[in-house]
Amino acid sequence: MRISLSNLKRPGTSAALFLILLCLFTLGLRLRNLDRLSLWMDEGFYVLAAEEILEHGYPLYPSGHILYKGILYGYLLSLVSLIFGFSASSLRAFSVLTSVAVIPLFYLFAKKFAGRAAALAGCVLLAFSAWETEYARTVIYFAPLQLIYLAGLYFFYRGFFENRKKDKIAAAIVFFLAPHIHQLAMGVFFCFAALFLIKGARRFFRKDVLIPIGIVGLSYLAIQVHEIFFWKVGYVYEKAPASLAEALAYFFQSFSLVYFREILRSFPSMGLILFFGVLILLAEYLIRRQKPEAVPAVKDDSLAGWTYLNLSLIFPLLFFGFFRTHVQPRYLFQLLPLFILLFLVALGRISLALGRLALAPFSSKGASKTGLRIASAAFFIIGIFLFSDQIGWRTTMSIINRDYKDPIRTDVIARSGRTEHHDHRGPGEYVRRYRREGDLVIAMHMVFQYIYGGPTDDWLWSGGPGTWDAWEQTPEGWKDVYVGARWINSLEGLRKVIEENGNRRVWLVTSPSIDRWDHIHREIASFIRSQADKLVFRGRDATSEVYLFNDPEGRLAAGSRTLEAEWIPASFGRIEYDPEASKGSVLHLSGKTAAVRTVSFSLPGTFAPGSYRLALRIKVDERREQDRILGVAVSPGPRAKDIHSRFYGSRELRRNGMYGTVEDSLVVPRQTGLRIKIIYSGDGELWLDYLDLISTEEKTFE
């Protein structure tokens, strides 16, 4: 429905120019820091699929199973890899491009219902939405899913409501292809139900509707039947249906309004405005039925358009009430542009009513058109600022500049415990660098280990059904369904693998699942954590680790330091491998950006009161001289006064191109944990090996 704000006419060229500038700005913003953090969440499944497509021509996993889920998305990723190279940044850039393409498509769609000005406002909301920014930067199907879903809604409306033949064909093609990005796109099928309710049976039961609904409906049914009987990977729940009733139980459950609550949970203010708009729509229908002259400004086509938008949102939400899923806000992502558009339309109707109320005391004959435009526009703009949820510059930049250990809001990503970004890259690449032929690799996340570290022999996971149903029984025993690694699900099984391979080095790669007892039993986690002498690497999330067992040389595990520099929980700097370094790796800091970088973090454990020596092993580029290249401060807490603070210059760190150790003294006043603050000046080049706190008294680190 057009709101009064649309009458504030702007030339089409001005809107086009604004859109171009907004898209370019959003593109540049979302492309920043794409490769800063490791692959995580479900990115690994599609990265592996794209890699296997490049090798085999289809997404054949190392386990021998094919990933049919999102198969079109997998092929699009492989095409991107062929053009731009196979890397996390190029694959993530594809999501960025599709997310930016949503903006002009949203404008074309939204201006039909809300007018040009409100449509442009919606484009700005999309550009600075936390949801959009979050999923635009992942190798997951959400951004292209949203684009094709919105395209389906757009072409369907133009084709079947505006009676454009070419758009009917386009809508049918989009509807047919969309579930092959992800099955969540099947929600576009409810457009046919909306058409039936709005236009009636006489319009619905025509050849131009029945043919596409038949073809699309049968294709959707075929996808679901194929999933039940042929999918070995990509499904959500463990399945083995023996009857039609069990097959239906796999997909459906008792009805719940949980996804309506998810909208109000993630978007409390916008959700209330949207649902209030639904009530306004119902009221206008009732008034129009009883007193048509009471709403003379409402045309049949505009009321039908607003109804189409509401039904296109409500029907999928009702369907989710029956559909069996893990309840996650991300499953609503494809509906976000529609949600924003309905919010704007409802806000426009409310602003129009408020404008009339505000001007009523000043005119007995009613408000003038100009005065009403100005008043309603003012209320509309104020409403956007007051009621927009999860939208803003600060929110957007916190996502783009995210570092390891930064908190993540679970109402944006998922309600599954991913409150920080995980580092699978560091541990995996470390194993790849130092593994030898004949070594055995055990991993908690076998897919990421395979991507970053190479073939994985065993998968360690003790969680039961519903945690990660990724196992299957094979003639060789229980294995995972992705890379074909043997499944270890107990402490006894883990010990057995290590002990029976005493003549082979055994790598154990952990993940943040080690802190979740529904994933890794407590006794397994306790055993692993007790093997401190086997620890050779820790990821920059300060949780993912690498342990090396049965290593007769003991070179990598030798020497226990307070903190290896490459374990610092921050993304700046580059990890390099050096046989002269402790644990075989160092943190390389380069001054190419000339930007000061700072990181603060807590050291593990607590320290007894007394005197300590702070030792830094470091190497600098001796071709340049800097008075202040690296600063280190130690404090008993985040707000406590420093007990040590010093900036080091390149002169005092010179060791003729070799690593050297610099030492300082400090006193810990009481039994406490310690925080370290490291400042890199951005000027000069250095390789930081480790930081060690050594007690000069009898009682040491606990």
Domain boundaries, the chain: 144-251, 423-557, 559-702
**Amino acid 6: pLDDT:** 46
Alpha-carbon distances, residue 285 vs 280, 295, 313, 556 (angstroms): 9, 10, 18, 74
Per DSSP, the chain holds a count of helices (H) and strands (E) of: 23, 18
Those residues with Cβ within 8 angstroms of residue 639's Cβ, 6 or more apart along the chain or in another chain: none
Q: Which one of 283-292, 324-333, 685-694 scores highest in mean pLDDT?
A: 685-694
Confirm if 321 and 255 have CB atoms less than 8 A apart: yes
CA-nearest of 422, 470, 412, 468 to 448 is: 422
CA-nearest of 519, 661, 507 to 581 is: 661
Alpha-carbon distances, residue 174 vs 151, 162, 171, 333, 580 (angstroms): 7, 18, 5, 18, 57
309 CB neighbour count, 10 Å cutoff = 26
Instruction: For residue 79, give the H/E element and its range.
Output: helix 71-84
User: For 599-605, what is the mean pLDDT?
Assistant: 88
| The pLDDT of residue 186 is above 80 | yes
pTM: 0.90
Mean pLDDT across the chain: 89
| The pLDDT of residue 5 is above 60 | no
Q: What percent of the chain has pLDDT over 90?
A: 66
Q: Which one of 294-303, 325-334, 604-613 scores highest in mean pLDDT?
A: 604-613
Residue pLDDT, tens place only, 433-476: 999 999 999 999 999 999 999 999 999 999 877 778 888 999 99
User: For 534-543, what is the mean pLDDT?
Assistant: 94
**Amino acid 686: pLDDT:** 87
| The pLDDT of residue 47 is above 50 | yes
Confirm if 348 and 118 have CB atoms less than 8 A apart: yes
d(CA 237, CA 249): 11
d(CA 463, CA 519): 4
Residue pLDDT, tens place only, 104-134: 999 999 999 999 999 999 999 999 999 999 9
Instruction: For residue 547, give the H/E element and its range.
Output: strand 545-549
Residue pLDDT, tens place only, 81-99: 999 999 999 999 999 999 9
**Amino acid 571: pLDDT:** 84
260 CB neighbour count, 10 Å cutoff = 16
Residue pLDDT, tens place only, 353-395: 898 888 877 765 556 788 888 999 999 999 999 999 989 999 9
Alpha-carbon distances, residue 254 vs 258, 318, 653 (angstroms): 11, 12, 68
**DSSP conformation letters of 592-642:** SS---EEEEEEPSS-B-SEEEEEEEEEEE-TTS--S-SEEEEEESSTTSPP
- Rounded to the nearest 10 degrees, the angle between the axes of helix 369-387 and helix 116-127 is 10
Confidence of residue 417 (pLDDT cuts 50, 70, 90): low
Backbone angles phi, psi at 463, to 5 degrees: -70, 150
Confidence of residue 536 (pLDDT cuts 50, 70, 90): very high
559-702 placed in CATH 2.60.120.260: yes
Of 410 and 260, the structure prediction assigns the larger pLDDT to 260
Residue 603: how many CA atoms within 13 Å on its side-chain side? 26
Query: Which residues in 655-680 are b (16+ Cβ under 10 Å) and which e?
Result: eeeebeebeeebebeeebebbbbbbb
User: For 31-58, what is the mean pLDDT?
Assistant: 95
Residue pLDDT, tens place only, 249-297: 666 666 778 888 889 888 999 999 999 999 988 888 787 777 665 554 4
Tokens of 664: 């300082």
Least confident of 93-107, 168-182, 548-562: 548-562
d(CA 350, CA 279): 11
Confidence of residue 560 (pLDDT cuts 50, 70, 90): confident
CA-nearest of 559, 545, 539, 573 to 678 is: 573
**Amino acid 357: pLDDT:** 87
**Amino acid 639: pLDDT:** 82
